Each structure stands twice: as C-alpha cells, then as structure tokens.
Structure 1
Amino acid sequence: MLATLFSLGALILAVHADDPSTWLGTLDTLAHGVNGEVFAEDDHTLLIKSFVYDGETDDGFFVMSKGENLEEPLEYIADEVGSRQSLATYMNEDIRLRLNPGKTIADYKSFGVYCQKCSQAYGMVTFNKFPKPFVRSMVSLGKLANTVHHVSGEVFAIDERTLLLKGFNYDGLSEDGQFVLYHDGKNINGTSEIIDDEDGTDNPLVTYRDMDVILRIKAGKKISHFRGFAVYCGKYNLNFGNVDFPLKMRIPRGAKKSSERPIFLGPLVNNSHNVGGNVFKIDDKTILITRFTYDGMSPDGQFVLTQKPGVVAEPVEIIGDERTNKGPLRKYNNRDIFVNLNHGTSLDDFKGLSIYCAKYKLDFGHVFFPTQSMKKPTYPLMWAKANLAGASKLGSFRTLMHNVSGEVYALDDTTLFIKGFSYDGTSPDGKFVLSKTELIQDPLEVLADEWGTSNDGLLEYVNKDIIIRLNPGTKLSDYKALAVYCADYKLDFGHVIFGSSLSGLSQSKEDPNSFINTGVMW
C-alpha cells in the first residue's frame, strides 16, 4: 500500500513541471447521471471537468476513500464553494475541490458522489485504475493558399490514405478542376496524381459551398509520400489553390486497414439542445462527426444507434463518446470527434445515429443513414453542393408551368441554393427573378443563372442543385418571392413565397461582383 501511495504522489509531483493537472480517471456513472473527468491539479486539489449530476436527491456528497471502492469510513469534502450541504445540479461544469486540511490526494485511492442515507455510490473513480483513454484525432496539414475560383478550406490527414477538406469552397467554373496530390510544389503538373472526389469519381469538380469533404487516395499510396495537395486544372496547367505539407508530418494511424471508401451519412438534424454536425462513416466501426455541437444541458444525453428506419426508438445501442465514455455527454462547440462502435457490432447493423435521452425517451438530434437505393447520381459540370446546416429554408416552388420545381434555401443574405431544381427549358425567355411583393409583377429583379449569365433564357434542368447569387448591392431581405418568369409574356412559370424571416441572415463574406461570369473558362 505504501508503494502505491508513493507512486501516485510521485506521479502528481513529476507532472507539475510540464502540466498543471494530472489525469486520474473518468467517473463511472452509477446513478443520477454522474459523469466527468477527474484530475489532480496539485497535491490538495481535485479538478473535475465537464461534471454532471442531476441533483435529484437531498443526500449527495463528494467523498474520498482510502480503498478502491467507496466504502465506509469515508472522508466527506466540501463542494467548489466550500459548502458541505447536499450537492445541487451540475450540467457539464468544471469545478475545483479542495481536500480537508492536512490531507493529500496521495492519501486516497478513489473519489466519488455518495449517498450517506442509502450507503450508495452515485458515481466513482478509482485513481489510475485504467490508463487515460486514447482519443483519436486528425492532423492539420495547412490551409489552401494561392487561390482562384474562390477555393478555400483547411486540409487534415485522418490517416495515411484519408484526407478531410474542412469548410471547402470552390466555384466550379472550370471544365477540368480536380483534386491532386503532388511531389513538387514548383512542378505540380509534372509530379501530381489525381485523387477521386468524395463520390469516388474523377469527374471535373462541381461547386462546393462550405463543405466538409473526405477523400480517399489509391491503394498502395501514402499521404506522407507526397509534398502537397491542390485543386488543379491539368488541361491548362493552372493551380486553383494548394497547400504544401509540413516537412515533418506525423500522420495518425487508422483504426485498421480498410479498402472501404468513407461515406457522408448526412447532417445531424437538430431537435433540441443545439445539436449539429456532419456525420461520416470512416469504416464499419468508426464514425467521424465534424463541427459537432451540443449544449450539454441534459443529465442523460448519450450517443445511440437505432435499428429502426426513420425513427429513433428503443431498443437503442448506447455507444461511448470520443473517450469511450458512455456517461452523459459533455458540452461540445464545433468539435471534430471520432466515435467507435461497440465490440461485435457494425454500422451495417443500424439505421441511424442520435443524441438521445433514455430517461425521457427524447431524441435531441439525429441522422438516418442513406440506403443503397439513395446513391448519388453522377454530377454534371456546375452541379452545386452546399452545407445546409446554417441555411434558412425559404420554401418550395409552386409549379404553374414548364415543370418548375425545387426547394429554395438562403445560404446568406446574397446567396440562394435551389435543391432539386427542374424546368423544361422550352421557353426562350424564362429567367430567375426576385419580387418585392408576393405578387410576381413588375418591377422585378432579374438574376443571373449559376453560370453568371442573365441575357439568355434558362436551359433545361432536371433535379439539379444550383447556387444563385444576387446582383451587387441587393440583399434577400429586400424581397418577398423568387420566380421563374417570362418577361416577354409576363408569365409566372413557378414561384416560392419566402416563408421565413430574412432579417437574421448572415452577411456574405464574398464580393458578389467576383462571381459574375467574365466568359473565361479554365
């Protein structure tokens, strides 16, 4: 026992030179949602990070024990404000607890929340019983620079064969833009290899708007064998944006070797608690959630997998967070995390992922996995992709003539995204217009199409996703409706009345003049 106490004390003292706190373990959730990570800040102070306790008992206290379990006799300690009353409610809070005078952490083997009346532990941790859990992460290789065609984003290495482009933008106005890896930044054309896009094709790249994109390089190749990444036009030897990799890269190791291409499963649909993020299948055992948000204000929110299509209902499979902790989730603010499935299970066994409260059977947010029948089509040139997580849905086209249809979203105050747009193109003068009233009548604001052209009538569209930008000096909040309109005969082919308030739209960070097509195509 003396040897154990000495080693713990030595560990705490040894870390102080480099790290203000030493990880002691994670609280096991036994009752009342108790959870949190426990650290030794110094010999006399415990730091509990993301502490959760529902407070639904009048007899919960912090205690220390000299044994590996919380058994009498116990040492009761005050809470973070020095009170020795029963604990209140805690929702993902970071707190510091001072030990009783004359005591050190090395005097004890465990800590927890304990009910004195019922002699029951609500949650506990045995110090250093388990090693600190491995938290998988990505490595940033840099941000895209030297850009044209509005290329931007940050490049991450997930493992030696997998890249993440985070917040990727590209206007799609090139007949031969492609993703490439290169060996020499001064000779990209002569030393580059094309990478398939996220759909597994080497087609010319389409429009991307604030997208998180995962790319898989060819079998037998490694990212560390290359010196950089670029969006490149091989036909005209033009660099649209690149990043030179750091000279010394430590590429993370993947969970296992896999020939499977990562798949975008969809965005998390927020029902409550500010849930959001983009969900990817890395392999049959691993999920990546980029930009994950959750307010942590529930004592029972957990990651669960559901086996029922289109609904989150029990029985569900609880899975751990990025630390493998199955207790209540802490607060997340735009985090990128890897979540692993339980042993013996595969993503193919499930239909969706949810942040779920089992206590009240509430789905805080979810994504239902695409089926084999939902495979994406091959994208033609100028098909657009956009992250709709922060977009405002304005409504769907009311079809009046020429098969006009589609869903209309506002990406910001000067940008529209039309999802699944259709129009038969048989009118010589059909154009996009904005109206300041709910009646589609003059005066109207004529908009350019996705190519930046407004002189000619619209061509045929069949279930196409497109981005439309407003004219310079205009903003969506000045208008009430969008229509496909024929000025020659004053005919409304189809329109959408903006059903939501536009006053809160984010301001565009891009110069709208720069999107006008100048006729130059690379």
Structure 2
Amino acid sequence: MVSWVLLCVLGVGSVLGAEPYRGTYIGKLSTLEHDVTGKVYAVDNITVFVEGFTYDGEAPDAFFFAGNRTPQPTNRGFIIPDERGRNEVLGPYRNKNLVLRFPVTKKGQRSLNDVKWLSVWCRKFSIDFGHVVIPSTLSLPSPQSAEGLRSDKPVLTSPQVTILDTETFLVQDFTFDGTVQDAIFVMGSGNAQSSGSQVSDEKGSQEPLSKYSKKSLYLTIPREVRNQPIQYFGVWSPSKGMLSSVTFDPNALIPPSINSLPK
C-alpha cells in the first residue's frame, strides 16, 4: 500500500477541507526580539517549511542559524541559506511562507538529524531573536521505496520504485519489451489486480507504453488519486490484466510536495 502519511491528512481530511499537508510540525519560533515569529515544519531531513515568518529586518548580521553543540542557540552553529539559497543577511519579512534547505559543507550534507535548534540569530552581537528546539524524537518524512517490478513474459523490470513526495515517484531503470501493446501505468486503492487510475508516462502522455530499456522515469501521481489511500502502482493491460505491481507501507511518512505547500 502506498505510503501516505495518514488518511486524515492526505485522504479523508482533504475531502473535508482540512488544511494542506505541510510535513511534520516542529514548533513555533519563540518571539524574543525584532518581531520574529513563524511555524516550522520538517518537509524531510534536509528541508524545512516556515509558515507565516515575520522579522523586522533591522539587525545588522541576522541569519537562519542551526546547531547541535549546545541545547540553546549560540554562535556555535551554521547558517541555513535563505529561501533563495543565499547566505546573505536577512532583510524584513512580513507573514511569508519560506522553504529552507540545509547546506552542504566540507563535512557533508547538514540535516535536521544533526541539530538541536533552529534560530534567527545575530552573529555580530550573539543574540537569539527567536528559535525552535528540534525534538530528539521527531519523526521526519522521507521517500519510501519498494522492490521493483518483475515479469518475464512480457519482459518488464525495475529494481526499485520510490515515492519521492505526495505528487511524484520514481521508477528506476525501467525496462519493457513493448510486446503488450495496450499496457499502461496505473495506481489505485484496493485490489492490486484492478485497473486503478492511469498514470501518465514521463512525457505526460496517456498513450500505451512503448519499449523502454533501463530508463529511470519520474512520474506524477494523478490528481484524482492524491486524496485516496493509494495502495499500489503497476503496469496494467486491458487485455491481459496486471502485468506487475508493487505495494508500499501504509504507515510511512512521506514528504509533502514543495509545489503543494502554501505560497
């Protein structure tokens, strides 16, 4: 079964008008100086979403800052680039929604696994304008993989299928001999032998699949399926039925698509 967070978040909740899924809620930035405020969510282990971020922009050396050497913010940390990927002093913000990605340093990729706090920090005067503590037990959304597709007749293989986020998945090194001329990609809920909803190919086409040889495909989850507890992905033929399919952990925590986050 496909790995959506919870049906109440991405399934029934969406139908009932629940707010868009933002990832795992970390907490609210404390308001200490310069009107800092905002709600912080973990999109995945290297990406955070800050909703409604406000800061007056009046400090001379303020950055998004994170660290793990102390339980509370200090200068012993590192800069998180702003929403444009720049390490520049922060200007003013008024109720802005921001996507921030942890940097790659000489020591490797920084991540939420590495830090105990995230702050709006002035390095020049060593002042914390507002911060949020990262719980040690925080459950981080992450892509979920399943063993790939396999069929000998027709020849149809993929070593791994990965749900990347709530809109996108990857079929790695996909091979198909094209001998079943009405085969299509499908996903759905319930019995994996049913036709489900058609998934467009990597070009956005819904024509029957052509021949492939070890091609990795980024595919988009159909809109009509995103609010359902999806359970399978496969290659299906109207004339021959399901040629091969995979299922996913229904309890896994999937990253929200960046495109789906509130602007």
Q: TM-score, length-normalised on structure 1? A: 0.26
Larger Cα Rg: Structure 1 or Structure 2? Answer: 1
**Bigger relative contact order, structure 1 or 2, given CA contacts below 8 A and separation 6+?**
2
